[in-house]
Amino acid sequence: MNKTCTSAAFSSGSEPLPTRLVLLTSSFPYGVGEPFLEAELAYLSARFDSVVLVPYKSNGGQMRRELPPNVSVFAPLRPERWFVLRMISQGLFNRISWFPFLRELCRERFFGGRPGLLVQWLSLSLLVRMLASRSHVRALYFGKGYRQVVYSYWGTMPASIYGALGAVCPYVVRLHGVDIYAEREDNRGYIFGRPDLLSRVHFVAHVSEHGMAYLRKRYPLISYQARVCRLGVHSPGLSPIQDDGVLKILTCSRIIPLKRLELLSQALSLVSFPVHWVHIGDGPGKESLEHSVRSLGMPVRVQLLDAMSNAEVLNYYVQHPVDVFVNVSSTEGVPVTVMEALSCGVPVLATSVGGTPELVDSLVGGLLPPDLTPAFLADALCAFWSLDSSQRMRLRHAAYERWKDRADAARNYAEMAEALQGLLG
């Protein structure tokens, strides 16, 4: 594989060309999504002369993030108007080869018995072909006039454009959870373009050892470079302690089925000790959750707060006492919300799924079984509430040390930025 960009490293005047990182995102810097990217961007922008953010879509949101001065924003890839018509007309008829797309169709044996996945393959194929045929997108990916690296923050559809173009600038993709575990309910056993993506990347940046082992096992015949490049957060300081006999629980996530917040609501209906549960985050299941917690009476008090930025979540920790962070997801990559809790010295109870056990164990709280029941969770919360002050302090100290060892943004993101810059030689 050619490891250098098509552009020469030096200009005609023997001056080195400027370095540029093209960073593909889902919607960042629009809206409030991908809050964990804010911390990494500071380290990336320090390593490259310029960074171009390429969001797939804006979700109708406004840019609410402060960006470093050398960071610019490319227009969202997904057209807002006449989307389906453009996808069909421009995706069907252009010069991009159909061969890799048809090869995937054959590899999946035409999705026999799964017509929904056949439709998904066709729509994504048309979408990738449409975007890859656009002159301004091609110019960006090929990076003429720059020593360039393309870095896709997710292994989803925008990452496949690189393969369709045949661009040869160094290319790296980061894989999390939704973009790696095919068995997740929202993937239905299939992730578009995965074998071709793996065969073209310079390396895959996994957020967890678990994810890296999973992908190796799923695609044993494909040779590709991979390494663990953990996410991280900055610590704002420790969460205050308030020993008033009330167990103060925090959860932070979108309110969607895989987060299983109703399990916590059901568990709290079984406890007999005082609890103050605060949830941070919105989602399509908010109305249902509001109805569920409405039936919880004394001694449980519940607050459902709106979604917050990464900085606002960390500020909440240092402004409010939190005894334990709870995550009962059915699947995860490595949850940044757990890192945030650890960075504030807050113990964590979390389900043993994905890469979560790489952060959580009995030293910093406890792991819960994936097939968790409300009764089991209620018992785990009761056991935590029963801990004396010295036992809780040991957990808090160990939680903070775990953050320093595995989730410190200063170290993890500096290493990732250095690895990306190193691809330019």
Q: What is the mean pLDDT of residues 124-147?
A: 90
- Helical ranges in 320-388 per DSSP H: 336-343, 374-385
Q: Is 333 inside a domain boundary? A: yes
- Is 208 in the same domain as 294? no
DSSP letters, 195-220, are HHHHHH-SEEEES-HHHHHHHHHHST
The confidence band for 2, taking pLDDT boundaries of 50, 70 and 90, is very low
10 pLDDT higher than 60? no
Q: What pLDDT does 13 receive?
A: 57
User: pLDDT class for 12, splitting at 50, 70, 90?
Assistant: low
Residues 6+ away with beta carbon under 8 Å from 323 = 247, 248, 249, 346, 347, 384, 392
Residue range(s) defining the domain that contains residue 119: 19-232+410-422
14 inside domain: no
What is the chain's mean pLDDT, rounded? Answer: 91
Q: Are residues 256 and 366 in the same domain?
A: yes
pLDDT value, residue 260: 96
pLDDT of residue 424: 94
pLDDT at 231: 95
Q: Which residues pair with 72 in a beta bridge?
A: 52
Most confident of 105-119, 142-156, 184-198: 142-156
Which tokens is 345 given?
Answer: 């010295």
Q: What is the pLDDT of residues 56-81, one digit of tens each?
A: 998 777 777 889 999 999 999 887 77
Q: What is the pLDDT of residue 240?
A: 97
Alpha-carbon dihedral 173, 174, 178, 180, rounded to 10 degrees:
70
Nearest CA to 21 out of 417, 338, 365, 388 is that of 417
Q: What is the mean pLDDT of residues 9-20?
A: 75
Q: Averaged over 370-392, what is the pLDDT?
A: 97
227 and 265, same structural domain? Answer: no
Tell me if 5 is assigned to some domain: no
pLDDT of 187 reads 81
Tokens for 46, please give them: 């320090």
- Write the CATH number for 119: 3.40.50.2000
- The answer on 330 and 194 residing in a single domain is no
pLDDT over 90 at 324, yes or no: yes
Domain count, the chain: 2
Mean pLDDT throughout 34-62?
Answer: 91
pLDDT of residue 295: 86
Q: What is the mean pLDDT of residues 391-417?
A: 97
Q: Find all residues with CB under 8 Å of 263, minimum gap 6, and list them.
A: 328, 372, 373, 374, 377
Does residue 1 have a pLDDT over 60? Answer: no
Note the pTM of the prediction, 2 decimals: 0.89
pLDDT value at position 3?
A: 42
Give pLDDT tens digits for 185-195: 778 888 998 99
- Looking at the fold, whether 26 and 146 belong to one and the same domain comes out as yes
1 in a structural domain? no
Tell me the mean pLDDT in the region 155-159. Answer: 82
Q: Do residues 393 and 262 both lie within one domain?
A: yes
**Does residue 277 surpass a pLDDT of 60?**
yes
